[in-house]
Each structure stands twice: as structure tokens, then as C-alpha cells.
Amino acid sequence: MWKKRRKARELALQVLFSLDFEASSPEEAWNLICKNFNKKIDPFSKELVFGVWENREEIDRIIERASKNWRLHRMAKVDKSILRLAVYEMLYRDDIPPKVSINEAIELAKKFGGENESYSFVNGILDNIYNTMIKGEENAGEV
């Protein structure tokens, strides 16, 4: 199952990345990527794209708060798309442990990120979000 989900995340990343360049709707971007790259439609992938896009303002605020000295517009578009995807999973998908989302984001950054160790950048921001937001909420429930 993890291989299928990893492929679904890769497809979601491609669509989110394209949305950062083209002011189209998620539906148009989804159809364009699937058609032009002969991608099989995956419901999990589509849910990720539409979930990220619907909640991107909140997700972007969280990323900006966690990324000291980096503004969203200065980040590499692929890194930003990877971060959005992982933060969406961490906040809105209770069926996916946050550590899995972080690990998957690091793998995406290794595969698609730049040569400037983008995986370290992604890991640092997601660890910050996990330690300041997610872990705190998990511990509050244990009291």
C-alpha cells in the first residue's frame, strides 16, 4: 500500500506544482497533468490536491511561521508544494501518522527537490511544525 500512496503523492505534487505556475483551478490542473502525462487517476491523490488547495491559506501561514527567515514566495516552488502536501496530511488526515507524512515529504524532496539539499530544508520546517503544533496537541490529549 505504501508504494501506491507514494505514487499518489508524486502525482499530487505534480499537480500542486503546476498550480503554482498557472492560475487555473485544481480540476483543470488535475485533468491537464493526468491527460498529458498519461497518469492514472487515484482518489487519494485527488483528495490531497483538492484538500491542499482548499486549505492553502491556513497551510501557508503555518509554513511561514515555522520557516524562520524564509518567506513563502522565496521558497523553491517544488519545496513549497511538498511542504503544503505534508502539512495538509499532518493537519487534516487523522489516518496518516505525522511522522509518515514527514518521511514521505523528505523522500519527495530527495527525488524532486533541487541539488541544494532541499530535503534538509523540508525536514527542518516539518519538524518545527510537528514539534510546535502537532506533538503539543498529542500530549495535551494524554493529560
DSSP-derived secondary structure for 4-35: HHHHHHHHHHHHHHHHTTS---HHHHHHHHHH
Domain range spanning residue 25?
2-140
Question: For the segment 38-48, what is each residue's pLDDT rounded down to a tens digit?
Answer: 667 778 999 99
pLDDT score, position 136: 61
Amino acid at 22: E
Cell numbers for 91, please give them: 493537519
Amino acid at 127: D
pLDDT score, position 142: 46
- The pTM (predicted TM-score) of the whole model is 0.89
pLDDT score, position 69: 77
Question: For the segment 77-124, what is each residue's pLDDT rounded down to a tens digit?
Answer: 999 999 999 999 999 999 999 999 999 999 999 999 876 688 999 999
Domain count, the chain: 1
Question: For the segment 12-28, what is each residue's pLDDT rounded down to a tens digit?
Answer: 999 999 998 876 888 88
Question: For the segment 30-67, what is each residue's pLDDT rounded down to a tens digit?
Answer: 888 877 776 677 789 999 999 999 999 999 999 999 98
Residue 115 CB: number of other CB atoms within 10 A?
5
Distances (CA, A) of 69 to 2, 64, 65: 34, 9, 9
* CATH code for the domain in which residue 57 is found: 1.10.940.10
Phi-psi sector, 113: left (phi>0), alpha (psi -120 to 50), beta: beta
pLDDT score, position 72: 82
pLDDT score, position 99: 95
Give burial (CB, 10 Å; 0-12/13-18/19+) of 45.
buried
CA-CA-CA-CA torsion sign (94, 100, 104, 106): positive
